[in-house]
Every structure is written in C-alpha cells, then in structure tokens.
Structure 1
Amino acid sequence: MKIVMVGEAATHRDALSAALDFPAQFIALPREAHESDAWDDQIEGADVLVSMRFKRRSPAPAFRLLHVPGAGLDGIDFTALPAGATVCNVFEHEIPMAEYALACMLEHQVELAALRARFSTEQWTHAYLKRQPRGELFGKTVVIVGFGRIGHAVASRAQAFGLHVIAISARAKAGRVDGPMDEAYTPAELDQVLPRADFVILTCPLDERTRGSFAAAQFAAMRPDAVLINIARAAVVDPHALYHALRDNLIAKAYLDVWYRYPSGDTDLVAPADYRFEDLPNAYCTPHASGWTQGLFERRYAFIAANINRLHQGQPLQNVVTNPNRV
C-alpha cells in the first residue's frame, strides 16, 4: 500500500506506521508540494493521501482515500477529487480546544497572571490588605455558536463550573439540539441572545453561511463587559468589526487563536491579519494552539491508522464525508 503524507502530517509517519497491521510504502512531501509540478506524479496511484489540502489539478491524480488529518474541510476542493476517491476526516481536537476555552474564561475571571505579577515579599502587606474581590465563572452565561463536537465539549465543562449554557445551532429550529446545554436557539436568533452573554465562544465550521457572519451588528449586541473567544475559523468574524470593537471597548476582551492568513512554509512570512491585534491590550492572541497537544496527535493518528487498516481489509471506513458545499 502506498501512503503519501503531506506537510505536518508527514512528521507523524512513524506513529502511523507502527499502528498499521501491514507494511506500507510511505512518501513524505512538504506542505508547499501542492504547488509543485511533481505533485501529480507522486500522488498518482496512491492508496492513501494524508493532507489538509487538496486543490484543483487538471487532470486530478488518481488515489483511493484522502484522509484529512483534522476536522476542517475548507482546504479541500471536492470538485477536484478523482473519480472514486473517498474523503475521511478525524476529530479528537474537541478535548484540548474545550480546555483552552475554559482556560480563557478562567483567566478572564481569576486573572492569575496579574495576581502573580503583583506579589512580592516587599509588597506583601499592601497586596494582602488591599486585595480586591475577583470574578468567578459560577452563574455566568456562555453562548456557544456552533454546537457540534467542540461545542458539546465546551458546554459539558462549562456546566461543571456552574455556567448557564446557551447553544446556537441550526438544528434548534426543528428542536433537535441535544447535549449539555440549558437553552438552544437558531443562528437567526443569535442577536437576541447576545445581550445575555458574559462569554461568546465561536466553535462553528467555516462555510458560505458562516463566513463573516459575526460582524458589527453582533458586536453592537454584546455587552461592554462581554468576552469573545474564537476557536472556530478567523473568517467567521469580520476583522474590521473585530478590531474596532476591541479598540473602542465595545466588548471587554477577545481571545483569538485562529487567523486570516497562514504561512505555506518557513520562508512564507505572512501577517496573520490586516490589523495588529496583538497591540491591543484587550486582545489575547495565540498561534492556533488551542488544539495542539500531544494527546491530540496520539488519538488522531491511531484513528487514521485504524481507518487505513479497514481500507486494506476491505471494511467500511469511519468518518466518511461528502461535499459540505453541495446543495
């Protein structure tokens, strides 16, 4: 079996190989191989392509299975796939991303770093006698926009801290939202719910319905003491509206882990956004690290290996996806 692994996925070759039930031929390609003329020749005839991206080629190289090593499918052009190719994705990121979201909310309420910075032996007496009551998560309201795997994982942890969870999901229209939440509303009802939110967490996929859907009107509906946490895709949020909402203190704070542009390699020095969000004191910017944990990769590549074993044995695959943009 021929397995081609592209970009960051190729660094997990040994883990994948060790979990297979049979020997395989591996080809590792750099992330920028997508733009190379040699791409087609190296992909042609592969049994498995492990890559976050697949864009239109003419004609498309033939392969059997495209296994996306993540959940997002916005890097895949489904119309460019060769005939008969199957696409699968993998999750497992909901655990660390939910922990990240809870860490953001806790940091906002507890301000542990600021408390530590104010502590010293010389200032101990003043620090103790002049300490101010801090916030707590208990009793706060969190609105989770997008209620799939990540939204569920955030909600269950939020409820454990005593937060009131409001889910925003298209399934709410038919009353089919399940999971750990207290209330559910449709995306069309979001603006009516936002004034109640202490925290708004974006966990929705990026598609033509959600692109730029969180914009000036939504920031205007939020309270000045509310916090936005974006662990979905940056393009869900209008960058101009986000920057001005933070600069003008329309909201209290934003934790931003996803960005509008990403480098294709070490030499591709791109800015993450048109605005320098990191210069704003109420913007907490991190480099798309919310799901980047050791446990994530162990779980993901164990799943991918199990799926490749199924392919080798002629068994049904798990997490088969169809074109999400198909009408």
Structure 2
Amino acid sequence: MKIVMVGEAATHQHELAAALATPAEFVALPREAHESAQWDDQIDGADVLVAMRFKRSTPAPRFRLLHAPGAGLDGIDFAALPAGCTVCNVFEHEIPMAEYAMACLLEHQIALASIDARFDSDRFSQAYLGRQPRGELYGKTMLIIGFGRIGQAVAVRARAFGIRVIALSSRARDGKVAGPMDEAYTDAQLLEQLPRADFVVLSCPLNEHTRGAFGAQQLAAMRPEAVLINIARAAVVDQAALYDALKHQRIARAFLDVWYQYPAREGDQVMPASFRFEDLPNAFCTPHVSGWTHGLFERRYRLIAQNIDRLARGEPLHNVVAGHA
C-alpha cells in the first residue's frame, strides 16, 4: 500500500502508521505539491493521497483514494481528480471547536486573564471592596447558524451552561432538525432571529449560498451588545461590513479564528484579511487554532487508518463524499 501525505498531513505519519494494520510505504511531500506537477511522479500510482488540497491544470497523477485529513473540501478541485478516484473526509474537530466556542463565551463574560493581570497584593483591599458585578452565561440566548456536527457540539455545551439555543438549518424547512436545541428555523428566517441572540455562532459550510451571506444587513440586525463567533470559514462573513460594524461598535465583539487568506507554502507571508482586525479593541483574533489539539489528530488518523485498512480489504469506505464507497 503506497500512501502519499502532503503538507501538514505529512507531519502526522507517525499517528497514521501506528493505527494502520496494513503494511505501507509512506511518501511525504511539501504543501505546494497539491497544486504543482513537479511531484506528480511520486504521487502517480499511489493507493492513497492524504491531503487537504488538490488542484491541477495538467492531467492528474493516478491514485485510488484522496483522503482529506479534515472535513472541509473547498481546497479540492474535483474536476481535476483522476478517473475512478474516491474522496473521503474525516471529522472529529467538533469537540475542540465547541470547546473553543465556549471559551470565547466565557472570555467575554468573565475575562479571567484580565482580572488576574490586574491583581496586585498591595491593592487587594481596594480591589475587593470595589468589585463590580460581571456577566454570566446562564439565561443567555445563542443562535447557531449551521447545525451540523460542530453546531450541535456547541449546543450541547451551551445548554449545559443554561443557554437557550436557537438552531438555524435548512433542514428546519421539513421539520427534520433534531438534536440539542430549543428552537429551529430555516435560513430564510435569519433576520427575524438575529435580534434575539446574545451570541451568534457561525458553524456553517462555505459554499455558493453561504459565501459573503453574513453581511451588513445581518450585522445590523444583531443587537449592539451581541457577540459574533466565527468558527466556520471567514468568507461566510463580508469582511468590510464586519470591520465597519466592529469599528463603529454596532456589535459588542467578534471572536475570529478563521481568515480570508492563508499561506500556500513555507516562507509565504500573507495578510489574513484586508483589514487589521487585531487593532480593534472589540475583535479577539486567533490564528485558526480552534480545532488544533493533540486529541484531534489521534482521532482523525485512527479513522483514516481504518478506512485505508478497509480499502486494502476491498470493504466499503466510510465518509465517502465522491466516487464509490
């Protein structure tokens, strides 16, 4: 079994090899191999290509299975794939991303790090006697836009804090939304529901319907004290409208972990957005770390290994998004 791992995936060869029952030959390639024919001779004839991206303007090398080491497929040009190739993805990111979302909520309401930074033993008496009440999560309302694996994982944790959860999902049209929520509405009802929310969590996929769909009109519908948390894709939100809303304090705060531009290869220096969001006091910015945990990689590569073993035995694959199971 020949397995080619590209870019960041190549750094997890140990996790994959440890979980794999099938004997395998591994090839590690740099990130830019996803779009350059320079490495095609090393990919050609592979049984499995593990990569988050694949694009070609020339005829593609042959391989049987493209296994994305994540859920997102927007970096794959399906038209460029070789004939007969199967594409699978893997999840498991919903656990750390939901924890990250809850950390954002707690940071906004409690801000423990800031309280700790201001602590001074010499001024303890004044600080204690001058304490000001802070906010709490209990009784707040959260609107989750996109109620798939991530949205539902956020909802489970939010409800444990006593937060009322409103789910926004296209499945609500048919009354088929199930899971940990108090109410469910369709995408067409977004503007009606936004004014109700203390927290708006974006966890929807990026596609032709969602790209730029959260713009000036949606931001204007939010309450001035409301908070936006984007753990979906940056391009779901119109960045100029978001910057303007934050700069003029039309919403209280935004937690941003996903960005509009990323480096394509080692050594690239890119700006994450057209605006310096980090300069705004009400923008909390992190470099796409919401799902980046040790547990995530252990779970993902264990599942990828199981799929590769199934491929070797000729058994149906799990999480097939294109091609044959």
User: TM-score, normalised to structure 2's length?
Assistant: 0.98
The residue aligned with 1:155 is 155
The letter for the 2-side match of 1:66 is L
In structure 1, the partner of 2:266 is 266
Structure 2: distance between partners of 1:60 and 1:143 = 43
Contact 2:37 2:56 in 1 (8 A): no
Distance 1:248 1:130 in 2: 30
- In structure 2, the partner of 1:175 is 175
SS at match of 1:32: helix
Question: 2:5, 2:276 → 1: CA distance?
Answer: 34
C-alpha distance in 1 between matches for 2:200 and 2:140: 11
Give distance in 2, aligned partners of 1:188 and 1:10: 42
Q: Contact 1:256/1:286 (CA < 8 Å) preserved in 2?
A: yes
Are 1:118 and 1:127, in contact at CA under 8 Å, matched by a contact in 2? no
Q: Equivalent pairs: percent with the same residue? A: 71
- The whole-number CA distance in structure 1 between the counterparts of 2:44 and 2:255 is 42
2:169 aligned with 1:165: no
The size of the alignment, in residue pairs, is 323
Paired amino acid for 2:232:
A
The alignment yields a C-alpha RMSD, in angstroms, of 1.0
Match of 1:254 in 2: 254
Equivalent residue runs for 1:215-254 within 5 Å: 215-254=215-254
Query: Is 1:133–2:133 an aligned residue pair?
Result: yes
Residues 112-163 of structure 1 show CA distances to partners (whole Å, capped at 9, x for unaligned) of 1221122111111111011111000000000000000000000000000000
Question: Does the aligned pair in 1 maintain the 2:36–2:56 contact within 8 Å?
Answer: no
- The equivalences for 1:58-73 within 5 A come to 58-73=58-73
Tell me what 1:277 maps to.
277
- Residue 79 of structure 1: how far off its partner (Å): 1.4
Structure 2: how far apart are the matches of 1:282 and 1:251? 9
Give the corresponding residue for 2:205.
Answer: 205
CA distance in 2, matches of 1:131, 1:291: 35
Partners in 2 of 1:80 and 1:269 — Cα distance? 27
Aligned-pair distance for 1:58?
Answer: 2.5
Question: Separation in 2 of the partners of 1:234 and 1:214?
Answer: 10
Task: Report the CA distance between 1:60 and its aligned residue.
Answer: 1.6
How far off its partner does 1:57 sit? 3.5
Counterpart code for 2:145: V
Specify the code of the residue in structure 2 equivalent to 1:214: F
Query: Is the 1:56–1:79 contact (alpha carbons within 8 Å) kept by the matching residues of 2?
Result: no
Give the secondary structure class of the aligned counterpart of 1:38.
Answer: helix
CA deviations over 1:184-215 (Å, ceiling 9, x no partner):
01111101000000000000000000000000
Deviations 1:262-305 (A, max 9, x none): 00223110000000000000000000000000000000000000
What residue identity is the alignment partner of 1:5?
M
Could you say which residue in structure 1 is the equivalent of 2:81?
81
Q: How far is the alpha carbon of 1:15 from its aligned partner?
A: 1.5
Counterpart AA for 1:156: V
Alignment check: 8 A CA contact 2:64 2:84 kept: yes
Q: Which residue of 2 aligns with 1:120?
A: 120
Alpha-carbon distance between aligned partners in 1 of 2:35 and 2:268, rounded to the nearest angstrom: 14
Secondary structure (helix, strand or coil) at the match of 1:122 reads helix
Looking at structure 2, the residues matched to 171 and 153 of structure 1 have their Cα atoms a distance apart, in angstroms, of 17
CA contact under 8 A between 2:37 and 2:58: conserved in structure 1? no
Which residue does 2:12 correspond to in 1?
12
Give me the whole-angstrom Cα distance separating, in 1, the residues matched to 2:127 and 2:117.
11
> CA contact under 8 A between 2:35 and 2:55: conserved in structure 1?
no
Contact 1:52 1:68 in 2 (8 A): yes
Q: Is the 8 A contact 1:69 1:89 kept in 2?
A: yes
Question: Which residue type is aligned with residue 135 of structure 2?
Answer: G
C-alpha distance in 2, partners of 1:36/1:73?
18
Deviation at 1:21, TM superposition (A): 1.1
SS in 2 for 1:150: helix
Unaligned runs of 5+ in 2: none
TM-score (norm 1): 0.97
CA drift of 1:56 comes to 3.0
Which amino acid is the alignment partner of residue 187 of structure 1?
D
Deviation per CA, 1:20-61, whole angstroms, max 9, x where unpaired?
112211110000123433222121111000000011332121
Which residue identity does 1:315 align to in structure 2? E
Report deviation, 1:19: 1.4
Instruction: Report matched runs for 1:184-203 at 5 Å.
Output: 184-203=184-203
CA distance in 2, matches of 1:230, 1:36: 31
Partner of 2:30: 30
Structure 1: tracts of 5 or more residues without a match = none
